[in-house]
Amino acid sequence: MPPRPHYYSLFAPPRLSLSELVQTTLSHDSTDLLIDRWLEHRGYGHGDVYYEWFRDARERKQTGHDQQSIVWNKGDFVPENIFCRTVDTGRLIPLDRTWTTHLFHHRSMQERNGMPIVFTMLPELMLLRGMHDAGCDEIYIIVTDLKRQEMDDVTAFFKLICRNTFGRTCKPSIEQQIQYEHMRISHTLARQRRTPCFPQIDLTFRALLYEKRPRFIILFSNQPTSYSQIIFTHRSYVPSADLFFDYPTGCLNPCCTDDCEIIRFPRRGVENAQVLDIKRGGRYGKRVKRKQMCNWIDCDVSFDSDGYALEKRLPDGSTEGSESSVEAKVVTKMCSKCRLVKYCSLDHQRKDWEEHKRVCAKG
């Protein structure tokens, strides 16, 4: 990775400490409070639309262990009873796992606590958090007042600069194109008096990519009609079109289409999602590789392509970590009732039962 300067540069990794945007953080407790409030308001406005989608999703036949799925077999419509298959470990985990939200905004923004912003996209954030076993304990949102076309231009710029500068040597012709697009967008937003200015948006966005390595970053427009863009850092993090093709747009208009101004949750998968082309491996972060892991959350045993659990064992047979340990194949234990989850041992299956029993039902 090139050295990180103490000044703003288009072609070097920026530092988050250089950002002049105000950072507001909402804790896990704040997220719990928002989820409770959202459940209380179900039935008002468009709350029932989400309930109907989850209800329809539960009627669909569940796919394999390597496919995204939503499972709601028992109980009321609450996050702890709705389970999501994670895209990184293949576990089935409930949507009640909260997160910390970091909002970056201009100092003139009135809603400094950020809770109204998170509330407007709470169902989407719950699903995105539930889709990832790791890497989504913290969610990052950059608050702007961009209009739709302006946000599309900004997103296209981020895709251009990440494709050509993130861990790569940029060609002179591409450098000129990046500089031109940066000046064009900066002048356009300055004429419209958008806040924050584009250099601050760019600095904050790329600094988050380099320092935090998130699964996605959200650009949120604080216009009278709120609007957002979810930008993913890898195609495997994108919601599946087979599952989310009819997901609600968040709009109150019953005739709403995919061109809605409210929120752009990628209902057609990678086809209409915004995905950055980021180099990975070595000092640029781990390569993204999907695993199949034991469903107990505290277990780090993964399964091979034949369904065996790969466990590190010492020559004496113990499983404590050591440089001399070797991988041993262990027969996988699958839940005999629902057949939706796998375990590396009966002990881990028993430990996971307190959580798994909320979704376990004979298929």
Specify whether 307 is located in the same domain as 269.
no
Residue 323 confidence (pLDDT): 43
Residue 289 confidence (pLDDT): 79
144 beta partners: 221
Examine residue 228 and state whether it is found in any structural domain, yes or no: yes
Examine residue 291 and state whether it is found in any structural domain, yes or no: no
> 16, 204 in Cβ contact below 8 A?
yes
pLDDT along the chain (363 residues), means of 10: 74 92 94 91 65 83 70 91 93 94 89 81 92 94 93 96 88 95 97 95 96 95 79 93 85 65 77 88 68 91 77 52 50 86 92 95 77
Specify whether 267 is located in the same domain as 125.
yes
Please state, in angstroms and rounded to a whole number, the distance separating the CA atoms of residues 59 and 56: 5
> 137, 128 in Cβ contact below 8 A?
no
Specify whether 313 is located in the same domain as 187.
no
Specify whether 265 is located in the same domain as 311.
no
Which phi and psi angles does 349 have, rounded to 5°? -65, -40
Return the number of other C-beta atoms located less than 10 Å from residue 156's C-beta: 13
- Which residue among 231, 256, 283 closes a domain? 283
Examine residue 361 and state whether it is found in any structural domain, yes or no: no
Residue 194 burial by CB count (10 A; 0-12/13-18/19+): exposed, middle or buried?
buried
Specify whether 264 is located in the same domain as 314.
no
Residue 328 confidence (pLDDT): 57
Give the number of domains in the chain: 2
Examine residue 262 and state whether it is found in any structural domain, yes or no: yes
Examine residue 327 and state whether it is found in any structural domain, yes or no: yes
Please state, in angstroms and rounded to a whole number, the distance separating the CA atoms of residues 261 and 247: 15
What are the DSSP calls for 182-209, one per residue? HHHHHHHHHHTT-SS-HHHHHHHHHHHH
- Which residue among 283, 311, 335 closes a domain? 283
Examine residue 29 and state whether it is found in any structural domain, yes or no: yes
Which residues contact residue 122 at a Cβ distance below 8 angstroms, ignoring those fewer than 6 apart? 34, 35, 38
Q: What is the pTM of this model?
A: 0.89
Domain housing 316: 302-356
Specify whether 242 is located in the same domain as 187.
yes
Specify whether 309 is located in the same domain as 208.
no
Q: Which pairs from 303-312 meet CB under 8 Å and 24+ separation?
A: 303/332, 303/342, 304/329, 307/332, 307/342, 308/332, 309/342, 309/344, 309/345, 311/344
> Among all chains, which residue has been given the structure tokens 């034991």?
294
Specify whether 273 is located in the same domain as 308.
no
DSSP H or E run through 141? strand 138-144
Specify whether 344 is located in the same domain as 238.
no
Examine residue 293 and state whether it is found in any structural domain, yes or no: no
Residue 363 confidence (pLDDT): 62
Please state, in angstroms and rounded to a whole number, the distance separating the CA atoms of residues 260 and 271: 17
**Residue type for position 207:** A
Supply the angle between the helices 28-40 and 122-130 in degrees, to the nearest 10: 120
Specify whether 77 is located in the same domain as 168.
yes
Specify whether 98 is located in the same domain as 229.
yes
Residue 257 confidence (pLDDT): 65
101 beta partners: 26, 139
> 56, 44 in Cβ contact below 8 A?
no
Specify whether 244 is located in the same domain as 327.
no
Examine residue 93 and state whether it is found in any structural domain, yes or no: yes
Please state, in angstroms and rounded to a whole number, the distance separating the CA atoms of residues 116 and 109: 12
Residue 160 confidence (pLDDT): 96
Residue 321 confidence (pLDDT): 44
> 287, 213 in Cβ contact below 8 A?
no
